[in-house]
Amino acid sequence: EAQVTQNPRYLITVTGKKLTVTCSQNMNHEYMSWYRQDPGLGLRQIYYSMNVEVTDKGDVPEGYKVSRKEKRNFPLILESPSPNQTSLYFCASSLWVKGGELFFGEGSRLTVL
């Protein structure tokens, strides 16, 4: 089954404790992206990647890192999480030539205390 898988789905952590949210897709998609969603602010793009070893900042990249060492994986790294990074996070992927047809993961709800 074609899917985008995120882990963990739910996480409560404390300020400053490094964490990684993994994202994996099984559709051989070139394009992958991370979004965060907060009440009243809609979906905001954090980082995106057009292919292996190619990443770029979205609208809200501060406090996040990403890497794209393999085509299928695009982890989101919070080196020193802060409470303002409490949010619902979504990973998405698409074929580059069909850029608008994004497939989204189920979301990861992160709480930073």
Sign of CA dihedral 5, 101, 63, 75: positive
101 forms part of the interface with another protein (CB under 8 A): yes
CB of 84 to another protein, least distance (A): 19
Asked if 88 touches another protein (CB under 8 A), the answer is yes
# binding residues, another protein (CB under 8 A) = 32
The identity of residue 99, as a single letter, is G
- The 3-state secondary structure of 77-99 reads EECCCCHHHCEEEEEEEECHHHC
Backbone angles phi, psi at 53, to 5 degrees: 65, 10
Instruction: Quote the least distance from Cβ 16 to another protein, whole Å.
Output: 27
For residues 80 and 102, give the distance between their C-alpha atoms in angstroms, rounded to a whole number. Answer: 29
What lies within 8 Å, CB to CB, of 53 at 6+ separation is 68, 69
- Residue 76: CB minimum distance to another protein, A: 15
Contact between 64 and another protein by CB under 8 A: the answer reads no
For residue 57, the minimal CB distance to another protein (Å) is: 9
102 binds another protein, rule: CB under 8 A: yes
**Under the rule (CB under 8 A), what is the footprint of another protein?**
4, 31, 33, 35, 37, 40-45, 48, 50, 56, 58-59, 88, 90, 92, 96-107, 109
